[in-house]
Amino acid sequence: MLGGVSALGAAGWIAGFAGGWVLRPSWAHAAGPIKMGIVTGAIAPSGNANWQVAQFAVEQINASGGILGQPIELYLEDTASDPKIAVGNVRKLIQERHVDVVLGGITSTMRQAIKDPIVNRGRTLYIYPQLYEGQECTKFLFNTGPSPAQ
C-alpha cells in the first residue's frame, strides 16, 4: 500500500480518469511519456512492496498501450519522514524529472510540507491518498482518502 492506498489501485484510479484532464491538462503540451512521481517515507514499512506494486501496475498499463497511447514512467523519492528532505526530493521530481503527477505522502504534516512546491509553485497535480482533516480544496491537490466528516 502506498500511503494507505495500494499503488495498483492508485494507478487504476489514474488510468480510469485519464480520458479527461487529470494527467494532461491543457497546459501540458509535451508529447511523450506520462511521468509519475511517487513519494514515500521511512514510516511506510511496506515502501519497497509499494514500489514493486507500482512498477507492476505500470508495466501492465504500458503493455496494454499506456494511457491515451502514452506510456507511464515512474520516479520514486524517499521523504525519510522528514519535511525538509521531502521538499528537496519533491522539487527534484518537479524541476529535474518534470513529472506530471505526484502521488503519496504519509502524514498530514508531510502533505503540508510538500504541497507548496508541488501545488503552488510547481503547479503539478498532487494526489494525497491518506486520511486527512478535510476542508482543503486547491486547484492541483486531490485528497482521495476519507475525512472525519465521512
The mean pLDDT of the chain is 74
Domains of the chain: 1-13+35-67+81-150 (3.40.50.2300)
Q: Over the stretch 40-92, which tens digit does the pLDDT of each residue have?
A: 875 556 566 667 778 899 999 999 999 988 999 999 888 888 888 888 988 89
Among the listed residues 103, 112, 99, 87, the one whose alpha carbon sits nearest the alpha carbon of residue 53: 103
pTM, to two decimals: 0.69
Cα distance between residue 58 and residue 75, in whole Å: 11
Beta pairing partners, 103? 38, 127
Higher pLDDT, 148 or 25: 148
Give me the mean pLDDT over the 130-139 stretch: 70
Among the listed residues 105, 101, 72, the one whose alpha carbon sits nearest the alpha carbon of residue 87: 105
Among the listed residues 59, 62, 61, 44, the one whose alpha carbon sits nearest the alpha carbon of residue 6: 44
